[in-house]
């Protein structure tokens, strides 16, 4: 597995909790030993695949945030490119993006990283059907809004609850998918027992990752 990461993701780009110092550094320590690759920033044309020009202009008025947000989109794009070549990829990126709709954003999000990366592959005719699994505590309204009315992009926010509910719902959803070209995961970890959600242990996330890995192996060999 390749880890997509840029040192500037560690910047404290705003005063919100998602930009707090130390959050990414803690994850970095757990990922030592994997191969790291550095992304480049997305283009404004990439942003326009999902977002309105008015929304992009509003974020551009915040130069520090705009820079890091462009880099986050670029990281998601790189992760999608690696995955399409058949190798698992994990984007250790911020700001997050699943609350960013085409014309608005909230919840510490600015641009919808995962939606842009999937839509880019779709527009390039490199994929037709995609599945997006969201394991964050909060529903990714921005991702859902981005693909409203598109039957080829399936978004699923895993049910809230403890370990049994979480893993059972994820298994049921994956079992319902019989065809897709790529699976993307919106991987927020705020359901953790030591975060806001206070629902899941680290082992639950390991099991979820294992389930998604097995799904991809069965789907594409």
The catalytic site residues sit at 99
Phi, psi values for residue 174, rounded to 5°: -60, -35
Distance of alpha carbon 17 from the chain centroid: 18
Of residues 53, 46, 50, the one with CA closest to residue 73: 46
Q: Is the peptide bond before 10 cis (omega within 30 degrees of 0)?
A: no
DSSP 8-state code for residue 135? -
**3-state secondary structure (DSSP) of residue 105:** strand
Distance of alpha carbon 204 from the chain centroid: 18
């Amino acid at each position: 597995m390749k880890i997509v990461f840029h040192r500037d993701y560690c910047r404290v780009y705003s005063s919100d909790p998602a930009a707090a110092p130390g959050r990414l550094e803690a994850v970095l320590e757990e990922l030592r030993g994997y191969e790291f690759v550095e992304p480049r920033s997305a283009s404004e044309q990439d942003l326009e695949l999902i977002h309105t020009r008015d929304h992009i202009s509003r974020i551009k008025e915040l130069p520090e945030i705009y820079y890091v947000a462009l880099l986050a989109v670029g990281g998601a794009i790189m992760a999608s490119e690696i995955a399409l070549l058949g190798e698992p990829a994990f984007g250790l990126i911020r700001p997050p993006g699943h609350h960013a709709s085409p014309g608005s954003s909230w919840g510490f999000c600015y641009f919808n990283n995962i939606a842009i990366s999937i839509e880019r592959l779709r527009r390039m005719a490199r994929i037709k059907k995609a599945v997006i699994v969201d394991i964050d505590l909060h529903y990714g309204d921005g991702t859902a809004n981005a693909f409203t009315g598109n039957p080829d992009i399936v978004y699923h926010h895993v049910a809230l609850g403890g370990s049994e509910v979480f893993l059972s719902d994820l298994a049921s959803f994956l079992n319902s998918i019989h065809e897709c070209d790529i699976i993307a995961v919106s991987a927020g970890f705020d359901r953790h027992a030591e975060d806001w959600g206070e629902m899941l242990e680290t082992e639950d996330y390991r099991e979820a990752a294992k389930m998604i890995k097995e799904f991809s192996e069965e789907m594409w060999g």
